[in-house]
Structure 1
Amino acid sequence: MTMDSISATNGHSNGDTNGHSNGSNGFNGTTKRPVRIAGSSGGFTDRQRAIQDLARCDVDCITGDWMSECTMSWHGAAKSEILAKGDTGDRPGLYDPSFMANVTPALPLLAEKGIKLAVNAGASDTEMLAKAVQAAVKDAGLNLKVAWVQGDEVLDVVNRLLKQGEKFENICFGGELKDWGFDPVAAQCYLGGAGIAEALRQGADIVICGRVADAAPTIGASMWWHGWNRDDAKDLDGIAGSLIAGHLIECSSYVCGGYYSGFKDLFNGCENIGFPIAEIFADGTCAITKEPGTGGEISVGTVASQLLYEIQGPQYYGSDVVAVLEGINMVQEGKDRVLVTGVKGKPPPTTTKVGLTAHGGYQAEFHFYLVGLDLEQKAEWTEKQVRASMGKNVDRFSCLKFTLNGSSPEDPKNQDVATVDFRVFAQTKDRSLVIKDSMEVPGFNRWCLENFLQSCPGATIENDIRQSAGKPFYEYWAALLKQDEINHKVQFLWDGQSVDVPPSKIMELYTTRQWSYETKDPLPLSSFGPTTRGPLGWRVLGRSGDKASDANIGFFVREADEWDWLRSFMTVEKFIQLLGPEYNGKLVERFEIPGIKAVHFLAHDHLDRSYNATSTYDGLGKNLCEYLRAKYIDIPNSFLRRGRI
C-alpha cells in the first residue's frame, strides 16, 4: 500500500512515500511526516500471518500485544513453580509460545525495509525471548539489533512494600491485599512506552517487552519518531494521541470489524479481516487505515467500537500520559480511513497498575443436558440430587453454583435447539474434593455422576467429562504501584549495555475513582414520538470488555437525534434495569463521548474476580454488550424507519 492511494485532509500531509532506512528520525526534508504503525496481534490466539504480511505494507513500525491478565497469571504462576524447584535454565521459555513462528518468517523483510518491531510477547521470560529472537536473526544472516525491556516483574517490590505498611487496595472491588486470603506468587506492573522509545533511539530494530501496557509499543514508537518528551507539557497532547492510537490498534482486527455489532454488513471477506495501520501525526492526531486487500472495514463505527473497548472512564491512564476521552471526534475521510482528533493529554500518574497472581485452589464443572418441557423443574430435581450426594461437603466448597443456561423454544425445529446446559460449577481450596485418582473415591465428579440413573426425564451428560476432574485456578488482584519503585531498564543484546528509564518528572497524583455523571439537559423521551417495543440493538451499537473483575460497556448511535435519545434514555438506573438479575449491587459509573455519540458505563466487579477465577461464562466481558442489545425497550418509530442494524 502506498500513501499516494490514501487521501489526507484537515491539514495533515502524508509526506514522502519512499522506502525507509534504519534509524530514520521521521523527517523528510523540512516536513515531519506521520509515523505509520501497524498492529499485528491482539493476543496469543491471533493469526500467525500478521507480522510477515504487514511487513509487506508501507509501514515504519509493527507492534503487537501477546499478553493479557489471564496469560500474566499463567506464566507468572509457572515461573514461581520453576523457581521453587530450582531453575537450572534448561527449560522451555515462559514467553508467548506462538511468537517465534510469527516473527521468524518476517525477519528478512524487516531488515530489507528498515521496519522496527516492538512487542510485549515476553511474558515472564522477556530476556529469554529476546535471546531467541537474536538467535533467529543470526541464523538468517541478518544485521538486526535486539533490545529488551525489564522492570515489569515486581513481586520483590510488592513484598517489601507490604512489610512497610503499603495497603495495595484493590482498584475494582476495594479491600486491602493483606485481607485477600491468598499469597501472591507473581506480580507484574504495567510499564509505559518510554523504555521502547529509548531502545529505538539507541538503534534497536526489535524491542521485546514483558508486561508493558497494550498501547505502549505504539506510544514508544511515536515518542521516538516525533521526538516527544513526556517531561515536557507541550508534548502531552501528542503522547496522549499516540496512547489512543495504540489503544485502537492494540487488538489488531477489532478496529477493522472484529466484534463489531454492525457485523452483518461485513460478511463479504469476513474470513480474512485485515490488520490495522495507524498514521500518527506530530500533533497527536491519528488516521486509522488497514491492510489492503482484506475483509472488514475502517469506519467511524468500527473505530468507535474499539475505542469503547476496555476503557474505564473519561480518563485513559498510561504510565507516560493520561488521555482525556470526552472530546474525541472521528471523521470518515475516505474508504477505510478514519481521522481521530480531539484527544487531550494530562501529566502521567504517579502510579501504574500492578496485577498480582495467587493460587486460588481447584475448580471443576459438570454439565447435564436437559431437553424440552419443564426445564426449571428438571434443573431443580437435578440440583436436589447432587446436593444430597454431597451432603455436608457442600460447605467445603468456596463456590458452588447450579445454573440453567438456555431455553427451549415453542415447537422446536429440532432436538438440538430444545437442549439446554445445566452447569454445576465448584471451587475449593481442598484439592481432594475435585481431583481424584480413582472414580471409586467420592468427590465432585462422582457426586454428579452417581445420580445419572435417577435423573429427570430426558437428562443426559456431556460425552467429555474432563472438566469435572478438576484443575488448579488462579486468583488475580489489581492494585496500584508507585512508578518510582520500578526498576525500569532497557537491555541491549548487541553490546551488553543497559539504560535506566526513570519515571516522568511531571507526574501527578490522581484519585482512584473518575468522575461519573448523568447527561446534561436530558430530553423527555415522549418528545421522540410513538415507539415500538423491540431489542435495543435494532438501532444501538456497542462494545464491552473487561478490566480485571470490572466490566465496561459503551453504547453508541449513528444519528444526531438518536444521540439525544440515547443520552437521555440510557441512565445508570436504566442500565441497571437492563442488567436485571445480572446486576451485583455494586457501583456503576457513567460518562459520555459526544463526538462519537456514545454513553459509557463501568460495572464494578461484574465479572466475579476476573478471567482465571470467574464462575461465569463471560469471564472477559465480551458478551455483556450483546446481552444488553438483545433486551427489549421502547424504540422511537422514526428511528426504526431507517432500518435495523
Structure 2
Amino acid sequence: MSRPSEARPVRVANCSGYHGDPAFEMYRQATLGDVDFITGDYLAEVNLANNAQAWRNGKHPGYEPTAWDGLRQTIDVIAQKGIRVVINGGALDPKALAIKVEALVSEKNLKLRVAYLSGDDLYPALGPNMPTTKEKLRHLDSVNTSTVPAELTYAFLDNGGVPVPMVSAHAYLGARGIVDGLRQGADIIICGRVADASPVIAAAWFWHDWSDTNYDELAGSLIAGHLIECSAYVTGGNFAGFDKYELDNLVAPGFPIAEIATNGSCVIAKHPGTDGFINVDTIRCQFLYELQGNTYLNSDVSAHIADVRVEKVGEDRVSVSGIRGSPPPSTTKCAVFYQGGYEAQLLLNATGYGTAKKWDLLERQLRHFIPVETMNDLETLEFQRVGVPAQNPCSQLESTTYLRVFITSRNEKTVAVVAKAMGNISLKHFSGFHASLDMRTAIPRPFLAYYPAMIKQSDINETINFIDGFDKIPSFGTGHPPRYEELGIRDNYDPKNPQMYTCNTRQMRLGDIALGRSGDKGGNLNVGFFPTNPAHWPWLQGYLTRERMRQLLGKDWHDSFFIERVEFPHIHAVHFVVYGVLGRGVSSSSRLDGFGKGFLDYVRDKFVEVPVDIL
C-alpha cells in the first residue's frame, strides 16, 4: 500500500499491549476493517531479562511466541490488503523472528519484504557484570536532585567486592530506524526494545513524510502511540469507571485504532461491532497512565502535553490534540537487569477476633527464632498485613485476612532459614492460625533486580537490516537525531489560586467524584485524577495538593519519598509522581502491588469532605 496523495490520516491498529495478549488480535485488527498499519507492543520491562540467559545459552528462541503466531495467522491478509506491520515482538532476537517470517513469506510466495531493527541490545557493551561505581552507569532519576534513591537502588555495589552478573541491558530506541526501513520498502519490520509508542510514531512519520524536525507532528503521534500501546486499556480495560457500564460489554473489549492526521493530532477509535467502548473518560484514563510529569520523552522528540485536549467526535471516536514538540534529550533510557539474589514469601492466614494482635505475636515469634547472623544477611524482611476482617462477618472467608512475609537476600540459604524458622513456631502459633495449601511459596527462588539507566543516544548503533533471501542481509545505519535539547527541572507545583469553599461538607468516597489511573515508572509510582463532572474540577484541583497526596498515602508514606505534581487544565486532571515508593521497581519491588496499578482505587476508596455546594 503506497501513501495516498491526499495525505488522509493514517489508520494504525494496535494488536498487542504485552506478550500475553492473544495472537488472534492481529488477525482481527487486519480483517474487521481497513487499516494501513498494524503495530504491536509485546514487551514489559522484565520480558527481555526473564529469557536473556536461556537465549544466550541456546535454550530460548529469543522472540515472543505470540508475535510469531499473530504473523503466521495473518500473513495472507497482510499481503492481500497491503498492510504494513511494525512490532517489537522480536524481543531478544529480532533477526531470528525476521528470518522465520521471511521463510513463511517465501513458502507462500508472497510479495512482502521483511526487515529487522538492531542496536538496542547493549549487554555486549555494558556487561557481563554490573558497574562498580554509580558514575559508570547513571541511574535514570539521578538528574533529579530532589529525589533520594530507594534503599536498594545501588545494592549491586555492596557485594563484598564480588562482581554482580548483569543479565540484560536494552536501550529504548525511537522511530527513526523503523522509518528508514519503511522508506526502503519494508512491509514487515521486527523490532526488539523500541519504546512502546515508537512503531506508531514511525507509521505516521513515514505516511505523512515528515522530517525529523517536525517536532509538533512527531509529538502528537507519540501521544497517539501512548494511547493505543496498551491494547484494551483505552477501550474499557483497566477502566476506573467500569462499574457504570454493562459487564458483558467489558469481557473482551476490541483493540484500538489511532487515526493520525498530517498535523499530528489523532482520533482514537476501534472497529465497529467490537465490544468495549471509547469515550472521553477512557482516553483521559489512558493518557494519565505511566506519565512522568508534563513532558513525555522519546528518542526522537519531547512531547509537551500540558495543553492536551480531548473531545468526543462520534460513537467510539475521540479526538486528541494540543500536543507540542521539541528536540529530544541527548540521552535515552536503558533497562538493566542483574541477578538480585533470592526471594521467598510466606502467606499466612488469620481469622476473626483479635487479628491485629495475632499478627503482632507472629512477627515477634518469627523474629525471635531467626538467628542473628541470618538477620544480618537479609536485604528485606517485611511483614505485610493484607486486608481487614469484615465486621459481623457472614462467612469465615469474610473474617479471614493474611500476612505476607516477604524475604530477600543475596544468599539462598539465608532466605531458606527464615522459612524454616516457621517450623520453630509449630504449635506455639496464635488461636485460629492456618495457611493456604502448603508452604511451597516459601521456597527460595532467584529474582532479577531492575536498574533503569541513562545512556547517550550517540553511543547507540541503530541499524535496519533486510532479509533478502537467507544468505544476504543488507544493513543500513540509521544515524541519530539532528538536534538535542536537554531537559530543565521538571515542573512541580500546587494549585496557584485554589478556589475556597466555606459551606458545609459531605463525607463521600473520592471515587464517587473522580476517575483516573495509576501505574509504575520503575521505582516510581504515578497516578492521575479527573472529575466525571466538570463542575467538580475547581474543588478537585484545589483539594489534591502535594501535601494531600502525602496524607492519602497514609502508612505507605516514607520521608525519603518525593512528590511531583502537575495539572492538565483542559482535561481537568491532576497528576502525581511519587518517587521511590516502589523500591527498585518491576521484578524487584517488595510491594504486593509492585506495578502500582491498584493504587488509584485505594485512594478512590477513601472518604473525603466534599463541599455540598458543588454536589
Superposition TM-score, scaled by structure 1 size: 0.89
Does the 8 Å CA contact 2:132/2:157 hold for their aligned counterparts?
A: no
Match of 2:414 among 419, 433, 441: 433
Match of 1:138 among 106, 117, 135: 106
Does the 8 Å CA contact 1:169/1:177 hold for their aligned counterparts?
A: no
Spell out, residue by residue over 1:250-281, the C-alpha distance to the aligned partner (whole angstroms, 9 max, x if none). Answer: 00010111111110133241111110000000
Residue matched to 1:400: 381
Does the 8 Å CA contact 1:38/1:61 hold for their aligned counterparts?
A: yes
Provide the rounded CA distance (Å) in 2 between the counterparts of 1:134 and 1:560.
53
Distance 1:420 1:163, change over 3 A: closer
- Residue 347 (structure 2) pairs with residue 367 (structure 1): yes
Superposition deviation, residue 394 in structure 1 = 2.1
Match of 2:210 among 228, 232, 240: 228
- Residue 313 (structure 2) pairs with residue 333 (structure 1): yes
The one-letter code sitting in structure 1 at the alignment partner of 2:332 is T
- Residue 277 (structure 2) pairs with residue 297 (structure 1): yes
Does the 8 Å CA contact 2:49/2:167 hold for their aligned counterparts?
A: no
Q: What SS does the aligned partner of 2:371 have?
A: helix
Provide the rounded CA distance (Å) in 2 between the counterparts of 1:623 and 1:78.
32
Pairing 1:360-509 to 2, within 5 Å after superposition: 360-392=340-372, 393-434=374-415, 443-494=417-468, 496-509=473-486
Q: What SS does the aligned partner of 1:591 have?
A: strand
Provide the rounded CA distance (Å) in 1 between the counterparts of 2:301 and 2:111.
34
Distance 1:289 1:165, change over 3 A: closer
Residue matched to 2:140: 171
Residue matched to 2:524: 550
Residue matched to 1:51: 26
Provide the rounded CA distance (Å) in 2 between the counterparts of 1:454 and 1:388.
12
Provide the rounded CA distance (Å) in 2 between the counterparts of 1:174 and 1:493.
47
Spell out, residue by residue over 1:602-642, the C-alpha distance to the aligned partner (whole angstroms, 9 max, x if none). Answer: 000111111211111111110111111111111233454xx
The one-letter code sitting in structure 1 at the alignment partner of 2:580 is D
Match of 2:37 among 61, 74, 84: 61
The one-letter code sitting in structure 1 at the alignment partner of 2:35 is V
Provide the rounded CA distance (Å) in 1 between the counterparts of 2:455 and 2:140.
11
Spell out, residue by residue over 1:442-467, the C-alpha distance to the aligned partner (whole angstroms, 9 max, x if none). Answer: x3332224424221111111104322
Superposition deviation, residue 201 in structure 1 = 1.0
Provide the rounded CA distance (Å) in 2 between the counterparts of 1:619 and 1:68.
13
Match of 1:627 among 598, 602, 605: 602
**Number of residues paired by the alignment?**
594
Ranges in structure 1 where 5+ consecutive residues have no aligned partner: 1-20, 436-442, 641-645
Residue matched to 1:615: 590
Distance 1:639 1:413, change over 3 A: farther
The one-letter code sitting in structure 2 at the alignment partner of 1:170 is H
Identity %: 36
The one-letter code sitting in structure 2 at the alignment partner of 1:219 is I
Superposition deviation, residue 345 in structure 1 = 0.5
Does the 8 Å CA contact 1:167/1:177 hold for their aligned counterparts?
A: no
Spell out, residue by residue over 1:198-234, the C-alpha distance to the aligned partner (whole angstroms, 9 max, x if none). Answer: 111111111111110000000111111111121x3xx
Does the 8 Å CA contact 2:346/2:439 hold for their aligned counterparts?
A: yes
The one-letter code sitting in structure 2 at the alignment partner of 1:589 is E
The one-letter code sitting in structure 2 at the alignment partner of 1:133 is V
Spell out, residue by residue over 1:426-454, the C-alpha distance to the aligned partner (whole angstroms, 9 max, x if none). Answer: 0011112335xxxxxxx333222442422
Superposition deviation, residue 97 in structure 1 = 3.0
Pairing 1:73-88 to 2, within 5 Å after superposition: 73-79=49-55, 82=56, 87=57
> Which range moved further: 354-363 or 290-299?
290-299
Pairing 1:16-55 to 2, within 5 Å after superposition: 21=1, 24-25=2-3, 27-28=4-5, 31-55=6-30
Superposition deviation, residue 352 in structure 1 = 0.5
Pairing 1:468-617 to 2, within 5 Å after superposition: 468-494=442-468, 496-511=473-488, 513-526=489-502, 529-585=503-559, 586-617=561-592
Residue matched to 2:222: 243
Does the 8 Å CA contact 1:77/1:358 hold for their aligned counterparts?
A: no
The one-letter code sitting in structure 2 at the alignment partner of 1:453 is L
Spell out, residue by residue over 1:169-191, the C-alpha distance to the aligned partner (whole angstroms, 9 max, x if none). Answer: 32246669697444433211100
